[in-house]
Amino acid sequence: MSDQHKIFQLAQQRSVENSLPYAGAMTPHEAFTILQEHPLVVLVDVRSQAELELVGRIPNAINIEWAFYPGMVKNTQFAEQLTAAVDKNLSLIFMCRTGGRSHNAAVAAQQLGYSRAYNMLEGFEGEANALKQRTRMNGWKHADLPWTN
């Protein structure tokens, strides 16, 4: 069994265990492995443009904002933008700062007919520590996976 197959199985197992309404949930390392090995998987970064510019971005990810900065006002065009950008036959991994907005995006994608929508747990920056600092405990950046400014 390939690493890719094991990761998809584990992601689906998390979905069942946590009663998630979408295909599954992956860690940053798992998502990175899938993105490297599977050309028909799209990483959808749902963070705001401000976050991309100030914190960094992942090469080759597409960005469809879930909410706009400032005020984190919901993007009412998210569904239309997603369906215009990504074919429903592809697998999608959603990512945000910590995994909350990407969870919501994966739920929305599933409702739109994307049967292979996954959430990336921990997000780009991960949880905040006791000093309210991110990237110290978990997340894509903490895992030292590729990103750019």
Can you give the residue ranges of every domain in the chain? 3-120
Instruction: Name the average pLDDT for the chain.
Output: 95
Q: pTM here?
A: 0.95
Residue 101 in this model has a pLDDT that exceeds 90:
yes
Looking at the domain covering 3-120, what would its CATH class be?
alpha beta
Both tokens of 11, joined, read: 């992601």
What's the CA dihedral at 95, 101, 105, 111 to 10 degrees? 140
| pLDDT tens digits for range 11-70 | 999 999 999 999 999 999 999 999 999 889 999 999 999 999 999 999 999 999 999 999
